[in-house]
Amino acid sequence: QVQLQESGPGLVKPSETLSLTCTVSGGSISTYYWNWIRQPPGKGLEWIGYVYYSGSTTYNPSLKSRVTVSVDTSKNQFSLKLTSVTAADTAVFYCARGRTSGYPSDAFDIWGQGTLVTVSS
Amino acid sequence: DIQMTQSPSTLSASVGDRVTITCRASQSIISWLAWYQQKPGKAPKLLIYKASSLESGVPSRFSGSGSGTEFTLTISSLQPDDFATYYCQQYNSYWTFGQGTKVEIK
């Protein structure tokens, strides 16, 4: 079955760029929409953005100026970059799959385990 | 932005109880609503999509209903494994989540 695994630095300095990768195993990255979601410690969930296997993207308007999501189909991976981070960006970051192949507006049926990224000097 | 408001924020219940969680949207989202269960240190798990469709593998004691702006998640008979935090999520316009409802042991 399809599994997702996030990877990247667990500590990022203020004003720098947070970079994470999600590796898709057990299935192809093609035809689905792939999402990033974050959850500050003890708080709720916030959708960050998605990428389609073709490379098209959509971002949360509140984060759009700082976010880039990209896909590498040859590696079955997609990635997140968040620039100019502050302590408020400290969170567990999850990658997740849109439930229906080829359909952007859907629930998320498969999630990675999450990775904590702390923004601190 | 579509805001999602869940009630209650915390719910104390016993094994075997019928539990209902409400989620309200700030504008109509038709039936584009999902429910997730999250346990401490774990990723959310999809329970219900399109307001009332049960995700494969999810026990039938979970059910969802509603349309427009008001939705409910019902657990017909609470089991020990069900103590967790539950989130609603709209996907009519981008994606936003409710603030969560923690179901704790009474």
Sign of the torsion formed by the C-alpha atoms of B79, B81, B82 and B83? positive
Those of residues 38-97 in A touching chain B at CB distance below 8 A are: 44-47, 58, 60-61, 94, 96
Q: Which of B49, B95, B99 has its CB closest to that of A44?
A: B99
B42: nearest CA in chain A? A113
pLDDT at A75 over 90: yes
Average pLDDT score, chain B: 97
Quickly list DSSP for B7-24: E-SEEEE-TT--EEEEEE
Q: Can you tell me the mean pLDDT for B78-106?
A: 97
pLDDT bracket for residue B4 (50, 70, 90): very high
Looking at the predicted structure, is the pLDDT value of residue A85 above 90? yes
> Tokens 């969170």, residue?
A91
Instruction: Inform me whether the C-beta atom of residue B92 falls under 8 Å from chain A C-beta atoms.
Output: yes
Collect all residues of chain A within an 8 Å Cβ-Cβ radius of residue B44: 45, 94, 108, 111
Residue A110 burial (10 A CB sphere; 0-12, 13-18, 19+): buried
Q: What is the pLDDT of residues B14-62, one digit of tens each?
A: 999 999 999 999 999 999 999 999 999 999 999 999 999 999 999 999 9
φ, ψ of residue B80 to 5 degrees: the values are -55, -35
Q: Which residues pair with B105 in a beta bridge?
A: B13
Residues of A in contact with B47 (CB under 8 A): none
d(CA B89, CA A57): 20
Best residue in B48, B73, B87, B95 for a mutation probing chain A (most A CBs within 10 Å): B95
Give me the pLDDT at residue A102, please: 86
Percent of chain B at pLDDT above 90? 98
Q: How confident is the model at residue A103, as a pLDDT?
A: 87
**Cβ-Cβ contacts under 8 Å, B89 against chain A:** 45, 107-108
